[in-house]
Amino acid sequence: MRSSSTHQVLAAVTTATVLALTGCSLVGSGDDGADSDKKVTLVTHESFGLPEELIAEFEKDTGYDLEIAKLDDAGALTNELVLTKDKPVGDVVFGIDNTFATRAVDEGVFAPYAPQLPEGAADYALDGKGADVLTPVDTGNVCVNVDDAWFAAKKLPAPRTLEDLTKPAYRDLFVLPGASTSSPGLAFLLATIARYGDDWADYWTRLVDNGAKVVKGWSDAYFTDFTFSGGDRPIVVSYDSSPVFTLDEAGKRSTTSALLDGCYRQVEYAGVLDGEGTNTAGARAVIDWLVSDEVQAAMTQMYVFPVSTQVDLPAEWAEFAVRPERTEQLDPDEVTANRSAWLEEWTEIISR
């Protein structure tokens, strides 16, 4: 049974060579000659972490040396890929999610590739031209999480709805990652826009007035400010799978839970990067590997659900990772058209 310390370690685990990316530090880093054909660089986010034995098997089976380059999250990842699209920072990307995917697709970052998908994965494919260049790999729901043990100790009922978060009883108790700097932060913003429509700014004004704290990223919110990790805020934006990693010592119950009201579905994709010097064959091999049964079965180690229905979930996931019956959703084209304006208005609200 995974403990809370394992939850934290998994978020930072590095299972292959990690290259720190700042600006365009990897542009033109490919080797000349035959050795470059044997190396394939996967660009991803900081939470990527697959078992070392799976990476070793990929290298043995394909003959490629897999290098892994990490950025903070899907937002930073998308920005880097757009800025370096003519000379990509790697060969293949994993971790572009549905909140940012249309921007990268519209910028022409990817080369066409549509591998054979496992059963169930087609349900998560992007619509339109994105379906030809991005492959669904995993899914999960961004949901508000609460520290049930904290609320029980304080004899205070935990919030159950998005509207509850604006009530005086929960003043100064909520922490969330920023929408402009974090993928789950943006997903939460989109959930509120989907829920409240034209009144979303009023909701956020009430949320901020009630003491909601905005931090840079999910790790900052969950591992620094959330009470489960030793912080002082018992409400946090996280995932529907997070309670799996907060089981008590006996492993019989979770000490946290996800609010199943106002969740936003995330899907993470992989794509072949298009540009000068990319190892296209190696990139395609990586994508085939990511949707293989072996890797799909390991996706839960990154707190996400596999898109494949051919693999079994761990027993604790079946019991404690409760998924919402419905989620808030926005049309990808609407997100593309309005993302910048929404983020500008959101920034103004939280800066007051």
In sequence order, which residues have a C-beta less than 8 Å from that of residue 128 and are 6 or more positions away? none
CA-to-CA separations, 59 to 63, 72, 136, in angstroms, rounded: 5, 25, 22
In a 13 Å sphere around the CA of 186, the CA atoms on its Cβ side amount to 25
Instruction: DSSP for 134-189, please give it.
Output: -EEEEEEEEEEEEEHHHHHHHT-PPP-STGGGGSGGGTT-EEEE-TTT-HHHHHHH
In this predicted structure, which of 2-16, 58-72, 157-171, 338-352 has the lowest mean pLDDT?
2-16
pTM of the model: 0.81
Q: Which residue has the higher pLDDT, 350 or 4?
A: 350
Q: Determine the pLDDT at residue 237.
A: 98
Residue 15 confidence (pLDDT):
34
Residues 6+ apart with CB under 8 A from 333: 102
Where do the structural domains in the chain lie, given as residue ranges? 4-139+267-310, 141-264+321-350
Average per-residue pLDDT for the chain: 87
**Assigned CATH for 141-264+321-350:** 3.40.190.10
Whether 141-264+321-350 and 4-139+267-310 are alike in CATH topology: the answer is yes
Specify burial of residue 33 (Cβ count, 10 A radius: 0-12, 13-18, 19+): exposed
Average pLDDT estimate for 148-163? 97
Which superfamily does 4-139+267-310 belong to?
Periplasmic binding protein-like II (3.40.190.10)
- The per-residue DSSP string of 201-239 comes to HHHHHHHHHTT-EEESSHHHIIIIIBGGGT-SBSEEEEE
Question: Rounded to whole angstroms, how far apart are CA atoms 141 and 328?
Answer: 10
pLDDT at residue 31 in the model: 43
- Asked if residue 324 has pLDDT above 50, the reply is yes
pLDDT (tens digit per residue) in 213-263: 999 988 899 999 999 999 999 999 999 999 999 999 888 899 999 999 999
Residue range 36-84, pLDDT digits in tens = 689 999 999 888 889 999 999 999 999 999 999 987 667 778 888 888 8
**166-175: average pLDDT:** 98
Q: Which helix (H) or strand (E) holds 39?
A: strand 39-45
For the segment 111-124, the average pLDDT, to the nearest whole number, is 95
